[in-house]
Structure 1
Amino acid sequence: MTKPKTHDLFIGGAWSKADNTERDTIRNPATGDILAHVAVAGEDDVNRALRTAQDAFPAWSRLVATDRADYLYRLIELIRRDAEKLARIITSENGKPLKEARIEVNFAIQLIRFAAENVRRLEGNIIPGSRPGEKILIEKIPHGVVAGISAWNFPLALTARKMGPALAAGNTFVIKPHELTPLSTLALAELSVEAGFPKGIFNVVTGGGATVGNALVTNPITKLITMTGSTPAGRKIMAAASAGLKEVRLELGGKAPFIVMEDADIDAAVNAAVAARFMNCGQVCTANERTYVHTAVYDAFLKRLRTKVEALKTGNPLDEKTDMGPKISAQELEKVDAMVRKAVEQGAKVELGGRRLTGGDYDRGNFYAPTLLTNVNGDMDIVRNEVFGPVLSLIRVKDFDDAIAQANNSRYGLSAYMFTQDLKKIMRMTNELNFGEIYVNREGGEAAQGFHHGYGDSGIGGEDGQYGLEAYVDTKTVYLNA
């Protein structure tokens, strides 16, 4: 095994030592091996990064939009060149199968590309004035310094999702990757140097949320905060940002319902239900958390579902044949196992899995068996709370109205799924299903040109597409008279 690498902070286009000598140890969740030692920024380090971004902002924001886009295009080419290397970094630090990590790298490219392609579409307006000859100009302008805080489940794509539109729109950017998975973002920082990014427009400060994240949120230099993570963390960020009346965009947890009606293509629905639940070991905010199946097709669906889940191969995520890797940490694994045991206490039946995988290489990592639960009902904790793990809860519904009512009975409102061939049901669903993102007759996976957002405890604001890009600019109104 190669010697673990030591990483510093990335500030002003160069590697910079933190004020303290403390470092986070980054481990491979599949093997427990030490991958790297990463600097832990202190408040002074965060302030330095923000000041550097602030100093770089005037020149960067005055560039023609297409010139800013050209830097992003150069970065995209380097990501393409190093796609396999980046995928292996993602798999090593996060644990997702290599084939999924490659998809993440491509998604990161698409997110940056959309921002670069569409920055010229950040259009203002000209409105007739209230005086003779007057014009009212409404102009789109960058906020200034944007702070990003990202989660561990998509370490490269989440950085790209925030960095691309922030820089394209003329802001400068400081990001705190999650302390469990900073290596993908640090690799992206290396590529930004090779792409010739002006110094200070992209900065990376590593460390925990209580220190680094709080310092980013509360510093008056920060004008916009964009965060992906848990709902409790989002509440803390929003509260901390309120003192400075800062704009906040929060993409938080989810509890997606997956609805299968009696006229659905059962094979397609089963395939999508498994993909939407077990991808990335269930560690996806849009994952299928509650599977509602019409009673008329419930037995047939369950039979095919069992076969599909049983066939999943769990193991070494670098193996091309692996379908599911480990949980990100022992703590997360224990949380999921506790939720399954509680569900059983409340009356659920374990059809498959329901345990930690042990023996051989499994003992080195955080592996949990793909789990299928039946006899599940809406009163159980596992139906109300986000699992964020490889547990599929199957729930019988009597009809469409029952499915919609149970699906909407949640404090989350990010994503939902619907399988039906009935156009009337689809039309009703668009009005009655209270989720910001709905997949009809397909598995999950948002597009770079879409808009990824939710309601309730799933956050405020949104990411991606033109609506997401618009979040990275403010407006200025000018009453123009000769």
Structure 2
Amino acid sequence: MALTRFHNIVGGREVAAKDGGWFASANPFDGRDWAELPHGGAADAAAAVEAAHAAFTGGDWPKLTATQRGKLLRRLADLIERDAEKLAALEVRDNGKLYAEMLGQVRYIPEWFHYFGGLADKIEGAVLPTDKPQMFSYTRREPLGVVVAITPWNSPLLLLAWKLAPALAAGCTVVIKPSEFTSASTLEFARLFAEAGFPAGVVNTVTGFGGEVGPTLVEHPLVAKIAFTGGDATGAHIYQQAAKHIKHVTLELGGKSPNIIFADANLDDAAKGAISGIFAASGQTCIAGSRVLVQRSVYDAVVDRIVAIAQTAKLGDPMDAATQVGPITTMQQRDKVLSYIDIARADGARCVLGGKRPDDAALGRGWFVEPTIFADVHNDMRIAREEVFGPVLSIIPFDDDDDAVRIANDSIYGLAAGVWTSSIARAITMSDRLRAGTVWVNTYRAVSFMAPFGGYKKSGIGRESGQHAIVEYLQTKCVWINLADDVPNPFVMR
């Protein structure tokens, strides 16, 4: 079967890798290769950065007013909405997540471009009061320059939009490095920028493997900022390399999020929230509620409810509307998830559901893992401390509010948390005490283009979405103007 071939966009042109190499992308549902992507290297990364720098410093992009930039973003939003079904189908073939979820995400993506398109001409400086006689001082907010956006394989276009929309609204230019496992939808999406009217070079792509293109992208002297979503080990390496060159960074990294169920909660809703937090997207989300903390007095009842729902989950073709749990995106990740299940058993956790590959022969070629639940987990077990990134849930008992906070915060991560309670006082108090960038109360996995998103501790640096996000792509300049007719003593600081 012939593979579908995609090309990078560099300087407004569709290009292959400079050395002519290609690599394949596989469909997680059946394990078969279906697409070919340019196998880029250091020279390809440098060319993309140079194209972005040329567009930032010359040509039509810097001549546009902020209002004109906003109109381009809104035009792009309309094109994404038009092509949502095609883009979502590409994502499913690449990462194996449910078509219903991917289509919902892609149809929501235009809101980021509408929102930041409207925000583009609301970037304001200020006239400063000053204690210096006959001096006038004001500030300007200016774009950083070339931004490298490095995206993961679990939600490629959504997480790209979180970076692209504010960066472009701020006036930056961008080089996109998608995951080598899920590059196809990004390359198809990048073709829309020319149709929307963006000048050549404003948005560029480079595909390939991190070790081959990553160092050039992170260390290139023309790059001003790296915006990365992915694992904390890779994020730490990028942070170290960026620091050597004094570059700005936004890092959205891993999580081991606690989903806390109190005895006074609606237990049926809480059980559904636990399911949503871990088995939606097959657990392949940085905000996965992979630790469910349950108050001891209702522990057995909640475990029973969660197991009863999870054991009905339908595994299958992610393009089928009836499917509820799809495959793991890569074979390597599937094997990693299975290894963590073995570790949990060895550490003494009690497996009450799943724990293996499915027996269904129809799923045999795909990279599936059964929804898996471990009960009686202690927070010092590896299954409770390390990010599995798969459909594996740890259920941990707690005694009271203080115990819940202690267990929840006892983690190197702090991306998100959930609280299930009927008490408004407890909802507010727990939200205050939890060390997490996002806290959901009586819900889980809600995000918005209006709401800032990011982590505490090793879950990251900076914020994406909301008005906070555009600040991450701006720098402040202070201007001083002397209004006096003469220049005072030049040897004394004004």
- TM category, shorter: over 0.9
- Taking the TM superposition and a 5 Å limit, the aligned residue runs for 1:203-282 are 203-282=204-283
In 2, Cα distance between equivalents of 1:227 and 1:334: 25
How many residue pairs get aligned? The number is 481
Shift of residue 185 of structure 1?
Answer: 0.7
Rounded Cα–Cα distance in structure 1 between residues aligned with 2:341 and 2:278: 15
* Residue matched to 1:181: 182
- Post-superposition offset of 1:60: 1.5
Q: Distance in 2 between matches of 1:473 and 1:85?
A: 33
Alpha-carbon separation, structure 2, partners of 1:269 and 1:116: 37
Q: Deviations over 1:381-435 (max 9, x none)?
A: 0001011110111111111111110000000011000011222222321331111
Is the Cα–Cα contact under 8 Å of residues 13 and 203 in structure 1 kept in the other structure?
yes
Letter in 2 for 1:55: A
Output aligned runs, 1:35-434, within 5 Å.
35-58=34-57, 59-434=60-435
Mapped pair 1:13 → 2:15: no
Partner SS state of residue 435, structure 1: coil
Preserved contact between residue 18 and residue 40 of structure 1 (Cα < 8 Å): yes
Instruction: Between 330-339 and 55-64, report the one with greater CA deviation.
Output: 55-64
Secondary structure (helix, strand or coil) at the match of 2:364 reads: helix
Aligned residue type for 2:32: D
Alignment correspondent of 1:29: 28
- What CA distance in whole angstroms lies between the structure 2 residues aligned with 1:121 and 1:48? 33
Whether the aligned pair in 2 keeps the contact of 1:10 and 1:16 (CA below 8 Å) is yes
Unmatched tracts of structure 1, length 5 or more: none
Given that residues 348 and 375 in structure 1 are in contact (C-alpha distance below 8 angstroms), is that contact kept between their aligned partners in structure 2? yes
Give deviations 1:220-271, integer Å, cap 9, x for gaps: 0000110001001001111111221111111000010000111111111111
Give the 4+ runs in structure 1 shifted more than 6 A.
Answer: none
User: Counterparts of 2:359 and 2:75 in 1: how far apart (Å)?
Assistant: 45
Q: CA deviation at 1:198?
A: 0.7
Alpha carbons 1:31, 1:361 under 8 Å: kept = no
Aligned partner of residue 46 in structure 1, secondary structure: helix
Give the match's secondary structure for 1:288: coil
Letter in 2 for 1:21: G
Aligned-partner Cα distance in 2 for 1:304–1:267: 7
- Helix, strand or coil at the partner of 1:317: coil
RMSD: 1.3
Q: Distance in 2 between matches of 1:81 and 1:424?
A: 45
Whole-angstrom distance in 1 between the partners of 2:421 and 2:461: 30
Quote the Cα distance in structure 2 between the aligned partners of 1:348 and 1:342: 9
1:241 alignment partner AA: A
Could you list the per-position Cα deviations for residues 64-102 of structure 1 after superposition, in whole angstroms to 9, with x for gaps in the alignment? 111011111111111111111111111110100110011
- Per-residue deviation, 1:24: 1.7
Partner of 1:436: 437
Looking at structure 2, the residues matched to 272 and 121 of structure 1 have their Cα atoms a distance apart, in angstroms, of: 37
Does the 8 Å contact 1:9/1:41 carry over to 2? no
Amino acid in structure 1 at the alignment position of 2:377 = V
Deviation of the 1:9 alpha carbon: 2.0
Counterpart contact for 2:6–2:188, Cα < 8 Å: no
* TM-score computed with the length of structure 2 as normaliser: 0.95
Output the CA distance in 2 between the equivalents of 1:244 and 1:459. Answer: 19
Alignment partners' CA distance in 1, 2:221 and 2:308: 55
CA contact (8 A) 1:60 1:171 kept: no
Report if aligned partners of 2:99, 2:319 keep a CA contact under 8 Å in 1: yes
The CA deviation at 1:292 is 0.3
Q: TM-score, normalised by structure 1?
A: 0.97
The separation in 1 between residues aligned to 2:188 and 2:389, in whole angstroms, is 26
Is the contact between residue 70 and residue 121 of structure 2 (CA under 8 Å) also seen in structure 1?
no
Report how far residue 165 of structure 1 moved.
1.1
Distance across 1 between alignment mates of 2:202 and 2:62: 10
**Where do 5+ consecutive residues of structure 2 fail to align?**
484-494
- Give the distance between the partners of 2:297 and 2:63, measured in 1 at CA: 62
Structure 1 range deviating more: 426-435 or 321-330: 426-435
SS, match of residue 213 in structure 1: helix
Say if 1:112 and 1:161, in contact at 8 Å, map to a contact too: no
CA distance in 1, matches of 2:161, 2:424: 36
Q: Is the CA contact 2:303–2:375 (under 8 Å) kept in the aligned structure 1?
A: no
> Does the 8 A contact of 1:61 with 1:142 survive in 2?
no
Give the letter for the 2:11 counterpart. G
Q: CA-to-partner distance for each residue in 1:305-328, whole Å, 9 max, x for gaps?
A: 111101111110000011110001
How far apart, in 1, do the equivalents of 2:443 and 2:481 lie? 50
1:297 match: secondary structure: helix
Asked if 2 retains the 8 angstrom alpha-carbon contact of 1:12 and 1:49, the reply is yes
Distance 2:192 2:359 in 1: 39
Shift of 1:42: 1.6
How far apart are the structure 2 equivalents of 1:430 and 1:417?
9
More deviation, 299-308/405-414: 299-308
- Structure 1 position 470 matched with structure 2 position 478: no
Distance in 2, Cα, partners of 1:202 & 1:427: 42
Deviates more, 1:434-443 or 1:100-109: 100-109
